[in-house]
Amino acid sequence: METRRLLLVLGGIAVVLVLVLGGLSLAVMGGGGDGNGDGNGDGNGDGGDGGDGAPESSPLPQRVQGELRLFGPDPITLDPACASDAGSAEYIVEIFSGLVSFDRDLKLIPDIAEEIPEPVKNSDGTVTYIFNLRQGVKFHDGSRQVTAEDFKFSMERSLDPRTLSPVGIVYLDDIVGAREFVLGEADEVTGIRVVDDFTLEITIDEPKSYFLAKLTYPTAYVVDQREVGDSNCFRGAQWTLKPNGTGPFKLEEWDLGQRIVLIPNEGFHLDPKPSLAKVTYVLAGGSALVMYENDEIDLTGVGINDIERI
């Protein structure tokens, strides 16, 4: 099964993040760099780019076999409930998972759900989807399986007004009871119901062919409720420095303004499994093309003015 994630990159394809309906169309990795200079000592005369407040770049560790190095934007957040920008979502889709996903052909495919559910029309005009979860899907630390209760908690957290999510209601407002919950008129989202440990029922207000696609956005991703506690988008985010997700990669290091390092989740529940030993995103600013030519990163976009030269 193919997904949108980094495990597709080795064929020379830059990572494509597919997030429909959210103002994030196709975000293809490229641009930027760290301008290390690798012992030049002269800085190449580039210092007047307005980066007065930029952190001084630190040298990258020695490469390991099977490592992929890419330019990456500095994320605003790694909390799925809070991400409203493509830069943050680029990492979140690697570290976390949801019920459903897209493959590289933009076909909706199951992720933690066993299959894509058929809509069931109810007599009151609402529509219900019943998700059967894969058993044996574990959080990165291996301590326990993901359950339907984890998904209910995670989606309600995205909608909880105390979380202060800028996007929760945008992607989950079709669910029955979501607006009442956001307004503080209800203690739970009635349209998200735990049937048993591995069965989740979601009811939306009316037939909407695009609803399942909205569940591919990070606001519907599962998080470890023991880890996130009562944190919100502006407080208590320390857990995102070592998040306990379910995605194909684990966060090994987040050196703010310098690099993000991901390593494979050996227990990932989908095939193909990640075949990379490590993925290092260089966050510091500079020219991605120069970095590529200096063998500091492995993939980059090429501007139209550089195509003929390259």
Q: What are 15-35's pLDDT values in tens digits? A: 333 332 332 223 333 333 333
What pLDDT score was predicted for residue 25?
Answer: 27
The encoded tokens of residue 167 equal 């996007």
Q: Could you count the other beta carbons within 10 Å of the beta carbon of residue 161?
A: 13
DSSP symbol at 107? -
| Contact predicate 270/99, CB 8 Å | no
Q: Could you count the other beta carbons within 10 Å of the beta carbon of residue 56?
A: 7
What pLDDT score was predicted for residue 57?
Answer: 58
CATH of domain 6-306: 3.40.190.10
What pLDDT score was predicted for residue 56?
Answer: 56
SS3 content of the chain, % helix, strand, coil (to 5): 20, 20, 60
* Span 192-217, pLDDT tens digits: 999 999 999 999 999 999 999 999 99
* Amino acid found at 41: G
* Span 134-179, pLDDT tens digits: 999 999 999 999 999 999 999 999 999 999 999 999 999 999 999 9
* Span 265-283, pLDDT tens digits: 999 999 999 999 999 999 9
Specify the 3-state DSSP secondary structure of 3: coil
CA dist 204 and 172 (Å) reads 9
Q: What is the pTM of this model?
A: 0.80
| Contact predicate 212/129, CB 8 Å | yes
